Amino acid sequence: MIDYILLNQDKIEAIVVLIFFALLTRASVGIHHQNWIKTFSGTMTLVLLPIITFAITSVISGNIALSLGMIGALSIVRFRNPVRSSFELVIFFLMLSLGICAAADIRWLIILGMTSNILIITAYFANIILGTSFNKKLFETSFSEGNSSNILEITSKTKNDDLFNSDMLISFGKDSNGYVYRLSSNQSSNLKQISKHYQENPEIIDIKFSAG
């Protein structure tokens, strides 16, 4: 057993690197509030997919008959789970590519893994810098793509210009009770702060907050 491990030390090292990049990708994508990647299925998919791809690629390399048989077997596999966004599909493709790179040359694995995660993390900080310095965000929030859907609904007796002009406003209405403002943000702290500000306002009829 020890002799077998020593003979395949390079494969074990590749698997360790794959697990590292899978967890790093989970962390870097997670900071963008992509909640689908934080679930058990999302995390285990990121960890297992590159390892399985690496194992298959290593086994069929140099064996044409086995390669054709594997292609036939994989052709019957269908993913029934709907993909929420193109970015989610790209992440899965990235994991597959990492597994292939690990079987071909571990240097390509490191290059692809580091480059991808640097770009994802850079996009996060670029969005923060643009938002704080220029009051303009690089990306828009889409709750259909797995982001946190924190909602604050405020009903006021009179029209409130601050709420109406807020960048977090997603819907506005007026009924017999008054003016209804619905705000949304992936940062629950922002909505809680607004809620706290209007709790003592006599013009406010109702405040409802729900965290995604």
Per-residue pLDDT of the chain (212 residues; tens, 9 = 90+): 666 566 678 888 999 999 999 999 999 998 887 878 888 988 999 999 999 888 888 877 766 666 656 655 565 555 566 666 788 889 999 998 999 899 888 999 999 999 999 999 999 888 888 877 777 766 665 555 555 567 889 899 888 888 888 877 888 888 888 899 888 877 777 888 888 888 888 888 888 888 75
According to CATH, the topology of domain 148-210 is Alpha-Beta Plaits (3.30.70)
Rg of the Cα atoms in the chain: 24
Q: What is the pLDDT of residue 148?
A: 54
Phi, psi of 83 (to 5 degrees): -90, 125
Ramachandran angles phi, psi of 39, nearest 5°: -75, 170
Provide the residue ranges of all domains of the chain, joining segments of one domain with +: 2-133, 148-210
Cα diameter, the chain? 80
pTM value surpassing 0.75 = no
Mention every residue, 6+ apart, whose C-beta is less than 8 A from residue 134: none
The pLDDT assigned to 144 comes to: 52
> CA dist 67 to 61, 72, 93, 207, Å?
7, 9, 20, 61
What is the pLDDT, as a whole number, of residue 76? 55
The predicted structure's pLDDT at residue 118: 96
End-to-end CA distance of the chain: 49
